[in-house]
Structure 1
Amino acid sequence: MTEQFDLLVVGGGINGVGIARDAAGRGLSVCLCERDDLAAHTSSASTKLIHGGLRYLEQYEFALVGKALAEREVLLRAAPHIIWPLRFVLPHQSHLRAAWLIRLGLFLYDNLGRGRRTLPGSRRVALKRHEAGPPLRNEFHTGFIYSDAWVQDARLVVLNAMDAMERGATIFTHTRCVSASRGADGWTAQLQTAHGEVSTVSAKVLVNATGPWAVQFLDQVAKVGHDHALRLVKGSHIVVPRLFEHQHAYIFQQPDRRIVFAIPYEHDFTLIGTTDMDYHDDPSSPHINGEETNYLCEAANRYFKRSIAPADVVWSYSGVRPLVDDENGNASEVTRDYLLELDEQGAPLLNVFGGKLTTYRKLAEEAMDRMGSLFPQASQAWTSKGHPLPGGERQDVDRLQHELQSSHPWLPAPLAWRLVHSYGSRTTRILGQARSLQDLGEHFGADLYQAEVDYLRTMEWAVDAADVLWRRSKLGLRFNAEQAARLTTYLADASPHRASFA
């Protein structure tokens, strides 16, 4: 029997789950399929920032920056457990950018898009008298500080999928759309699981949110003629042992006029990135190369007293950004804005091209508004009100953690912090009636226990160790090969996860 939906969304990255959530919240029937894990590719390989993009001001992308800054406030309200404010320090080098130019840029950044309602504004600082100064080389005397926000990017994707599911959407992971046929009144698609099982679904509208594969999807799956082109740009990051003790992040200007971030990461590490390189290989498995690693090490060494080398890198990751090809010669200057195209030459097809993590909610809202005439029964836009994502109902996350530790005094503070900053108010669903660490079941390594793994498997679509260790968490940084192997065995032996929550 063919299941029927209003919307079939193909792609489980941030744009796909954002559209699925918005549509489900408007009362539409939604099916989303993702061939791998949620956020398996680009959406989990970001610099993990909710930001306007300070450097885009130099490219006169004022509308994009303003839109992103306004979204920053919406997302801070919607998911305070996985998104929180972060102050950035920009050490000044006069030969790269004049101080007046930086101050002008920061003034615009503070005021564009009605975006800075809760975060502190920018200011100039004497680095010798600020806690961010000592890690820097002695030649840096002046800096500028401004606000943005940090996000657990893959968790943002998962929570949007969970919210979509709780509003009625059907979510299939590890399920590929192998064909999509266009009729006069709708689409018929064949979905194939990783085990080879095939099912048929029909939908009034097909949404192509496949990211780097958007053009390939049109050519090979939907078989729709088009004149679109994407420019694939690889961005890579490295993680090294912690280079500074405070909680500020740095933004470093480079001689090639690019910028590189150095960000506190998982308490004991520093995240450094990103690069921008044109990419022409398979988007499924990008890897950092030696040139990129050297570039990022040298970028940090221009500023920090403590130098790093490729041997210091404990982890690296790369992602492929599907950017709208604006024929710009410099990969770092290609627009990060998005393009939505509604093709109504037959059954409607919505193509999503480009975009960035920060503006996913706005993209989804605009996508649904664009399709408004197709669904007169749908309710109005609703996500801009800051409706919380799962676990984000409590704005005071520090107080939530304090209450959790008061009610669970046996819970170590670092574990309580991690749980609250991953699951928010839903942490109690993991802990259940536990009265000790032993009640949480098998200890797999670091501070990961069976109760959390079971929650991730049954409620968050986690299937294998990589899903748990590198997307739902970053505990892979603290696991050894033997511990990861034991987790893999446990997940393989456990009862099958629920591929759909409909």
Structure 2
Amino acid sequence: MTGTAPAAGRDHGLVDLAIIGGGINGAGIARDAAGRGLTVLLCEKDDFAEGTSSRSGKLIHGGLRYLEYYEFRLVREALIEREVLLASAPHIIWPMRFVLPHSPEQRPAWLVRTGLFLYDHLGGRKRLAGSRSLDLSRAPEGVPLLAEFRRAFEYSDCWVDDARLVILNLIDAADKGAVILPRTRAASARREGDVWRLEMLRADGTSEVVRSRALVNAAGPWVQDVVQGVAGLNAGHNVRLVKGSHLVVPKFWDGPHAYLLQNDDRRVIFVNPYEDDLALIGTTDIPYEGRAEEVAIDEAETAYLLQVLKRYFRNAPQRADIVHAFSGVRPLYDDNAENPSAVTRDYVFEVDGTAGVAPVLSIFGGKITTYRRLAEHALQRLEPWFPKMSPAWTSGATLPGGDMAEFDDFAAGLAGAYPGLPRELVQHHARLYGTRARALLGSARNCADLGRHFGGHLYASEVDFLRQTEWATTSADVLDRRTKHGLHLSAVQRAAVECYLAAK
């Protein structure tokens, strides 16, 4: 299309809020704003959660290690949110116990105990079990560890399917009237009177236009690109890009618990159960200066993570055991900390606009655990331009599929409703879709009713459901973000999914 004007597309008219960025912050703001009665349009240049929001450590947590940096307010807010989010989406968020083997050369026992005491009490914990000490010579959690580790501490946090959290927020936003546009890049934004005129380019080369009373820049690693390149403004804050990489290996211990390992550089590494028979190991913290789209794990990071495992486990995974690896770029607010691990995970807003001048709100930093509070705070900052906006509402609301009392009871009931389907298959649908699984499974009596079988637990009915209700168009959308089927399929099976989608 070089040298050719983009073909004219849809004019979306005037909305209250146009949001650039389809990661967790943009999705959370879109949902909150639509539920307050604002008209909303959100555009994302790639697939939703394709960047940082699908490449996290997949935890809803307070950030135990942030206590060392005196981030007490951030930890408290995150711990409170941990309980709120657990109640909102029990199908994709669930409690997990973390075993922290004591390594006295890193942190003395009294310091760890003090940190865990604060962690237990800062956030008004109600649903999760408190911390305790373990004798590793007797506790089963000590079996895979080296004999030199005789003592451990155990505490609670929560697991989350990060990419699905983004999608559920977008589904809820769309159900409340928001216009959601994947693979639609913000090309230029200019003020025209008291509104913004945002021009967007779709992947097929057509342009779309919307006029908006306010603009939200939730572009994550690209936040400064949007401020300067799209909106033509000067950014008052800077974003600091930090790379975090993870390994996926076969699970090498028994039990549903995770491990938190202290390294000799005082960083901590999570070793979490993943997809039933796998383990997720990470993360690194490395300054990153390349293009966010090109981030990838390097040899030094792989060696670093494997070395930490070797220090703690009897039969630590080797390089040949790695089945997958991924990296993400965290767009942290630049607080000038020298150590990347010490850079604040808090968020900062930059608002350009005054009375009578259409505002743009840009988000620097943040973490997945506090995305809902970030959305509330963002709308508080925009309230002067929307004085009739309805009050905050998300703290007591469930996300799509999360309207259940207890997940285990729901999953058992779903299995009972579909006796002709394998229990593991029904459990998979319950976990990913919650109560929406009934719409996916419909009247199926056996696996043949689910259509073509691509491998593992993936059938055509699920691919169709994702395409029709969750904006999935490519095999990566289906296999890597909406689900994790890709970890269990061969290259030939993945290609079959791509061909199936292309034929639709």
**TM-score normalised by L of structure 1:** 0.97
Q: Is the 1:294–1:309 contact (alpha carbons within 8 Å) kept by the matching residues of 2?
A: no
The aligned counterpart of 2:273 is 264
The aligned counterpart of 1:98 is 108
1:73 aligns with 2:83: yes
* Letter of the structure 2 residue corresponding to residue 118 of structure 1: R
1:326 aligns with 2:335: yes
- The aligned runs of 1:455-494 (5 Å cut-off) are 455-494=465-504
Q: Is the 1:6–1:29 contact (alpha carbons within 8 Å) kept by the matching residues of 2?
A: yes
Structure 1 unmatched runs, 5+: 495-502
Report which stretch shifted further, 271-280 or 181-190.
181-190
- The aligned runs of 1:231-380 (5 Å cut-off) are 231-345=240-354, 346-380=357-391
Per-residue deviation, residues 367-424 of structure 1 (Å, max 9, x unmatched): 1111112112211001112x01000000311111111111111111211111101000
Per-residue deviation, residues 216-240 of structure 1 (Å, max 9, x unmatched): 1111111112232111000000001
The aligned counterpart of 2:236 is 227
Q: Is the 1:277–1:331 contact (alpha carbons within 8 Å) kept by the matching residues of 2?
A: yes
Shift in Å, 1:183: 2.6
Q: Is the 1:343–1:349 contact (alpha carbons within 8 Å) kept by the matching residues of 2?
A: yes
1: distance between equivalents of 2:438 and 2:394?
A: 26
Shift in Å, 1:309: 2.1
The aligned counterpart of 2:186 is 177
Report which stretch shifted further, 142-151 or 300-309.
300-309
Match of 1:164 among 163, 173, 179: 173
The aligned counterpart of 2:30 is 20
Shift in Å, 1:35: 0.7
Report which stretch shifted further, 128-137 or 103-112.
128-137
1: distance between equivalents of 2:56 and 2:404?
A: 26
* Letter of the structure 1 residue corresponding to residue 369 of structure 2: T
1: distance between equivalents of 2:462 and 2:370?
A: 30
Report which stretch shifted further, 255-264 or 125-134.
125-134
Per-residue deviation, residues 64-97 of structure 1 (Å, max 9, x unmatched): 0000000000000000000000000000011111
Q: Is the 1:86–1:248 contact (alpha carbons within 8 Å) kept by the matching residues of 2?
A: yes
The aligned counterpart of 2:5 is none
* Letter of the structure 1 residue corresponding to residue 89 of structure 2: A
Q: Is the 2:237–2:350 contact (alpha carbons within 8 Å) kept by the matching residues of 1?
A: no
1: distance between equivalents of 2:282 and 2:375?
A: 27
The aligned counterpart of 1:427 is 437
The aligned counterpart of 1:51 is 61
Q: Is the 1:96–1:257 contact (alpha carbons within 8 Å) kept by the matching residues of 2?
A: yes
2: distance between equivalents of 1:368 and 1:460?
A: 25
2: distance between equivalents of 1:162 and 1:285?
A: 28
Match of 1:199 among 197, 208, 211: 208
Q: Is the 2:223–2:362 contact (alpha carbons within 8 Å) kept by the matching residues of 1?
A: yes
Q: Is the 2:292–2:329 contact (alpha carbons within 8 Å) kept by the matching residues of 1?
A: yes
* Letter of the structure 2 residue corresponding to residue 415 of structure 1: L
The aligned counterpart of 2:409 is 399
1: distance between equivalents of 2:164 and 2:381?
A: 27
Per-residue deviation, residues 201-252 of structure 1 (Å, max 9, x unmatched): 0000000000000001111111112232111000000001111121100000
The aligned counterpart of 2:6 is none
Shift in Å, 1:2: 4.7
Q: Is the 1:369–1:381 contact (alpha carbons within 8 Å) kept by the matching residues of 2?
A: no
2: distance between equivalents of 1:2 and 1:275?
A: 42
Report which stretch shifted further, 1-10 or 480-489.
1-10
Q: How high is the sequence identity, in percent, across the aligned residues?
A: 52
Q: Is the 1:9–1:30 contact (alpha carbons within 8 Å) kept by the matching residues of 2?
A: yes
Structure 2 unmatched runs, 5+: 1-10
Per-residue deviation, residues 100-139 of structure 1 (Å, max 9, x unmatched): 110000000001132x111010011111222211011111
2: distance between equivalents of 1:486 and 1:395?
A: 38
Shift in Å, 1:358: 0.1
* Letter of the structure 1 residue corresponding to residue 470 of structure 2: E
Shift in Å, 1:337: 0.3
2: distance between equivalents of 1:263 and 1:418?
A: 19
Q: Is the 1:154–1:472 contact (alpha carbons within 8 Å) kept by the matching residues of 2?
A: yes
2: distance between equivalents of 1:390 and 1:2?
A: 26
2: distance between equivalents of 1:131 and 1:459?
A: 43
Match of 1:95, SS state, is coil
Instruction: Number of aligned residue pairs: give it.
Output: 492
Match of 1:15, SS state, is helix
CA RMSD of superposed structures (Å): 0.9
Q: Is the 2:415–2:427 contact (alpha carbons within 8 Å) kept by the matching residues of 1?
A: no
Shift in Å, 1:484: 0.6
* Letter of the structure 2 residue corresponding to residue 369 of structure 1: Q
2: distance between equivalents of 1:422 and 1:367?
A: 29
